[in-house]
Amino acid sequence: MAVEQPTRPTIADKIYDKMFHNYLWKSIFRTGYPNTPRNQMLVVATNVFLHLHPTRIHRTHVKITHTYCLGGLSFFMFLGLTITGILLMFYYVPSVDRAYLDIQNIQTNVQFGQLMRNMHRWMAHAMVILVFMHMMRVFYTGAYKPPREFNWVVGVILLVLTFLLSFTGYLLPWDQLAFWAITVGTNIAGSAPVLGPKSRFWLLGGLQVGPDALIRFYTLHVIGLPLLAAIFMAVHFWRIRRDGGLARPL
């Protein structure tokens, strides 16, 4: 290895140094800008968000064609939905009298309201599709095999939670589309033997889609199910690390 010769620092070097090696920066990030292998590993290991990753990863797994980033994008959709969802919550009241008008209001009177609503909607559809495709990718790469059995099960639970999240959100605009889709959907659930009618009643808080159903779906949609999904995602990600990273051939 050639020994590096010290050269005179250029202007750019000085700016760089001022930006990334000052006291404030280091108080936040500990390391300098991650431009050496040591700092690159440190930044992943010490940053709470990047810490979801290992510091080093097998080279086949960074190839985009191995995962197509589908799991990561599912998670990204979840984050995006949380952000746009919180913004929508500022304006939306889950009562039969207000829900529909609030949505209209969001679309016409709120700055970027229509955009936020559109984003939330399309991201929700995207998440359902991405999670399903992620499952297909895991299956066809044979990545469910031991020792990842249980993480596959956690995945199946996440798939169901994703459907439920999307389904509960569908009612909230309280328009004809929402009302009848949920009526049809809960009728399907209600047809189950033994538990069906009870679980439908429990879900709707009554015999048909009405004010009680709206508040139940809302509560499940904005806190109950996201909380559950977050917990299972935490388990999912933790297990990926514990199971030795992504699956690779023997």
* Radius of gyration (C-alpha) of the chain in whole angstroms: 24
Question: What tokens were used for 30?
Answer: 């500990």
Give the separation between CA 219 and CA 143, rounded to whole angstroms: 35
Binding to ligand HEM, residues 138-167 (CB under 6 A): 138, 141, 143-144, 148, 151-152, 155-156, 158-159, 162
In angstroms, rounded to a whole number, what is the distance separating the alpha carbons of residues 231 and 73?
Answer: 18
Hey, how many other C-beta atoms are within 10 angstroms of the C-beta on 25?
15
**Which one among 75, 167, 170, 218 touches ligand HEM, defined by CB under 6 A?**
75
Q: How far is the CB of 184 from another protein (least distance, A)?
A: 4
Answer yes or no: are the C-beta atoms of 82 and 226 closer than 8 Å.
yes
Which range of residues in 26-34, 70-78, 114-122, 190-198 is near ligand HEM by CB under 6 A?
70-78
Tokens of 206: 């009554």
Q: Is 80 in the site for ligand HEM (CB under 6 A)?
A: no
Answer yes or no whether residue 169 interacts with ligand HEM by CB under 6 A: no
Q: Which residue is nearest to ligand HEM (CB)?
A: 155
| Residue 38 contact among ligand HEM, another protein, none, beta carbon within 5 to 8 Å by kind | none
Give exposure, 29-54, as e/b (b: 16+ Cβ within 10 Å). bebbebeeeebeebbbeebeeeeeee
Q: Which does 216 bind (CB under 5 to 8 A by kind): ligand HEM, another protein, none?
A: none
- Which partner from the list another protein, ligand HEM, none does 203 bind, CB cut-off 5 to 8 Å by kind? none
Euclidean distance between CA atoms 181 and 172, whole angstroms? 11
**Cα(123)–Cα(159) distance, integer angstroms:** 15
Which residues lie near ligand HEM (CB under 6 A)?
67, 69-72, 74-75, 131, 134-135, 138, 141, 143-144, 148, 151-152, 155-156, 158-159, 162, 233, 236, 240, 246-247
